[in-house]
Amino acid sequence: MYGDDKLNNHGILRYGLTLDYCETFSSLKYLDIELPLTLIRNFHIFIKPFVDNNLFNYNYINRLQEKYNINTVGDVQKALNHKQRQIKDLSKVPNRNIILMPAALVKLALDQFSDAPILLMVHNHYDKTALKGKKLPGNLVKYSFGRDLVRVKIPRTDIVNLQNQLKQILLSVKTHDVFGTLEFKQWFEVLLIRMVKNVYFLDRLIRRSNIGVILDHFEITVPGNILSLLALKYNLPFIYAPQLLITDQSFIPTKASLYCAWGKNYEQWMVKRGIDPAKIKITGNLRFEYAKNKIAISKKEFINLMNIPSDHFIITFTTQQFEESVNMEIMDWIVKLSYNIPDIPITFVIRPHPSDHTDYTPFLNISKIKLAPSQLDLFDTLKNSDFVMTVSSGTAIEAAILRKGIIVLQPSIPYHYDYNNDFHSHLVKAKAGLNVYKDKDLAKYLTKIVTDEDFRNSAINQGQQFLNNTLELNYSPPVIIRQLIKNYLNQKDGSSD
């Protein structure tokens, strides 16, 4: 659902080089953790210029593909799934019952774990934002990743040994197109030491803090990637519960013990990527579950704030962080419709993505176009819309939860390093709503939405079918995830919940 299974030129280059990298530098270990595995996302960012410049270097691409026999994303997951050696089994140790989770999931901790000891790791701005205004009970403890990491001191001999190993390996691959460059050498020397500190810090945390279960919503970057490896090292459960729509670049390789899928579509997508179905549990999505319980401002307050006529249909366009040309093409469609069908009672509300830096203010001289204030919660905008337009954003799912119709925009999208495997057509494949490829499509559909109640209801019902396939709706995600965690903890002493 969230991208093609078959590898394109980009995928073969990205993952062929990744396999080269992991094989070449696999002997670089610290505390038995393969350091290259902790740097895969960093490596992908580093090789971006090389991959982009060789997209049509068919000889090179074919050599990589034949060398590693990779044709699908599932092949890549299988090839990269190095088995981390178990050094010690901590899963049966009595009193090892602390749940480690990112502070971004604090709502789950407060909602479902009134007495269980929980360590909330504060690592990024999502964690800090989630904690704002929260009063934590005694069983929840904040732990600052960055603050304590700077205090880590690694023995000088360990650093020197790793640097010497790296030097020897680099000498053996000095003719490699990527590894033989000075830029790669400098890149690896800096990040190698940083990852050693991260591994040391998190390994010590696991051993000393009686961690029994690890829950995370990211695994491709620190600390999730290291924690998943340490979980294998110590035979501890690592539960992966993604909260955002993820693509292969933010998922492969993965090493979790258990995967929380949002619904049937997500489960099938994971299976096609080589995940054992026995390790997948359909749980729904925590973020959507908590969002739907918010209280929105009233329709009257909303239209007064936005200066929208009370008889207008509200069509919200949730933008994404595309190149400006993509969002401008969509705005061109909206402008044409505003001028060509002046009597249609519609107002377009533009809701920019936080990372979208396109300037939409020049369009505000058109009465049918409004810009949602940044201080207005997204939920308020979606709740008071009639239809939501987007290319591939998760806001389509949120709109369906609120029983809004979905319009799937499909403008021309240039090649993008991280989103090039058909990800942006996933809503089309899932039949989420009305598909728009040009301005005439938008004009046709919006006219029917306004004038034909049966058509409007049919489009909304289509979105509901998409929602049923995308998201588990019959059970509470927080309750399911709490049960999964308790089951793991109860296995330790043979009890049952």
CA angle 19, 198, 154 (to 5 degrees): 115
Per residue in 93-119, pLDDT (tens digit) is 998 999 999 999 999 999 999 999 999
Question: How many other CB atoms are there within 10 angstroms of residue 62's CB atom?
Answer: 11
Once rounded to an integer, what is the mean pLDDT over residues 368-397?
A: 96
Once rounded to an integer, what is the mean pLDDT over residues 281-295?
A: 93
* Sheet strand arrangement including 313-318: 369-371, 346-351, 313-318, 387-390, 405-409, 434-436
Per residue in 126-182, pLDDT (tens digit) is 999 999 999 999 999 999 998 888 889 999 999 999 999 999 999 999 999 999 999
pLDDT of residue 86: 93
Is the predicted pLDDT of residue 293 greater than 90, yes or no?
Answer: no
Homologous superfamily of the 299-470 domain (CATH): Glycogen Phosphorylase B; (3.40.50.2000)
Domains of the chain, by residue range, sit at: 9-94+117-285+477-493, 299-470
Q: 349 vs 147, which has greater pLDDT?
A: 349
Residue 494 confidence class, pLDDT cut points 50, 70, 90: low
Is the predicted pLDDT of residue 367 greater than 50, yes or no?
Answer: yes
- Those residues whose C-beta lies under 8 Å from the C-beta of residue 47, and which sit 6 or more positions away, are 14, 17, 178
Question: How many other CB atoms are there within 10 angstroms of residue 494's CB atom?
Answer: 7
Once rounded to an integer, what is the mean pLDDT over residues 315-342?
A: 95
pLDDT of residue 288: 95
Is the predicted pLDDT of residue 184 greater than 50, yes or no?
Answer: yes
Phi-psi region of 235 (alpha: psi -120 to 50; beta: other; left: phi over 0): left
pLDDT of residue 42: 98
The mean of the pLDDT values for the chain is 95
Once rounded to an integer, what is the mean pLDDT over residues 410-436?
A: 94
pLDDT of residue 493: 60
- Measured CA to CA, the distance from residue 64 to residue 400 in angstroms comes to 42
Token pair of 330 as six digits:
């969509």
Is the predicted pLDDT of residue 398 greater than 70, yes or no?
Answer: yes
Is the predicted pLDDT of residue 497 greater than 50, yes or no?
Answer: no
- Measured CA to CA, the distance from residue 421 to residue 36 in angstroms comes to 25
Residue 374 confidence class, pLDDT cut points 50, 70, 90: confident
pLDDT of residue 1: 63
pLDDT of residue 373: 93
Is the predicted pLDDT of residue 492 greater than 70, yes or no?
Answer: no
Token pair of 253 as six digits:
């390789």
Is the predicted pLDDT of residue 486 greater than 90, yes or no?
Answer: yes
pLDDT of residue 206: 96
Per residue in 426-471, pLDDT (tens digit) is 999 999 999 999 999 999 999 999 999 999 999 999 999 999 999 9
Q: What share of the chain has pLDDT > 90, as a percent?
A: 91
Q: Which of 55-64, 170-179, 414-423 has the lowest mean pLDDT?
A: 414-423
pLDDT of residue 491: 82
HEC letters along the chain: CCCCCECCHHHHHHHHHHHHHHHHCCCCEECCEEHHHHHHHHHHHHCHHHHHHCCCCHHHHHHHHHHHCCCEHHHHHHHHCCCCCCCCCCCCCCCCCEEEEEHHHHHHHHHHCCCCCEEEEECCHHHHHHHCCCCCCCCEEEEEHHHHHCCCCCCHHHHHHHHHHHHHHHHHCCCCCCCCCHHHHHHHHHHHHHHHHHHHHHHHHHHHCCEEEEEECCCCCCCHHHHHHHHHHCCCCEEECCCCCCCHHHCCCCCCCEEEECCHHHHHHHHHCCCCHHHEEECCCHHHHHHCCCCCCCHHHHHHHHCCCCCCEEEEEECCCCCHHHHHHHHHHHHHHHHHCCCCCEEEEEECCCCCCCCCHHHHHCCCEEECCCCCCHHHHHHCCCEEEECCCCHHHHHHHCCCEEEEECCCCCCCCCCCCCHHHHHHHCCCCEEECCHHHHHHHHHHHHHCHHHHHHHHHHHHHHHHHHCCCCCCHHHHHHHHHHHHHHHHHCCCC
- Could you tell me which of 409, 453, 462 has the C-alpha nearest to residue 433? 462
Is the predicted pLDDT of residue 83 greater than 50, yes or no?
Answer: yes
